[in-house]
Amino acid sequence: MYKIALIFFLSALLACQRKTIPVIIERKDATSPKPALVKETIVADTAAGRQIFMARCGRCHGVPDPLQYTTRQWETILASMIPRSRINKEQALHLTAFVNTNADK
């Protein structure tokens, strides 16, 4: 009687466990067309860079005159300030173009 109860208990325990179902995260189908790679080039815009400079740099501190520093000094300044200002790569390109155009040579 003890063996039958043990077998019944074990079969009930195994039957009640949750079954795992595989989840397909990404389907790789050989027949589906692959998207074409589009390379987009962004041209630096100094007018947009000026707007970003005034808005983002002026948010936390006074806006410095770009002529205050050389292009090499601006390179160091922007390397530390761009991540702090949380601007994207395109905005950083415009901002850098504006500063380098108007910096002391």
Question: Comparing 15-19, 29-33, 86-90, which segment has the lowest mean pLDDT?
Answer: 29-33
pLDDT of 15: 67
For the chain, give the number of residues: 105
pTM flag (> 0.85): no
Predicted confidence at residue 30, as pLDDT, reads: 58
56 neighbors 87 (Cβ within 8 angstroms): yes
The full set of domain ranges for the chain reads 46-102
Cβ(85)–Cβ(56) under 8 Å?
A: yes
Query: Which residue from 75, 81, 83 is spatially nearest to 99, judged by alpha carbons?
Result: 75
pLDDT per position as a tens digit, 33-76: 666 666 678 888 999 999 999 999 888 888 899 999 999 999 99
pLDDT of amino acid 78: 94
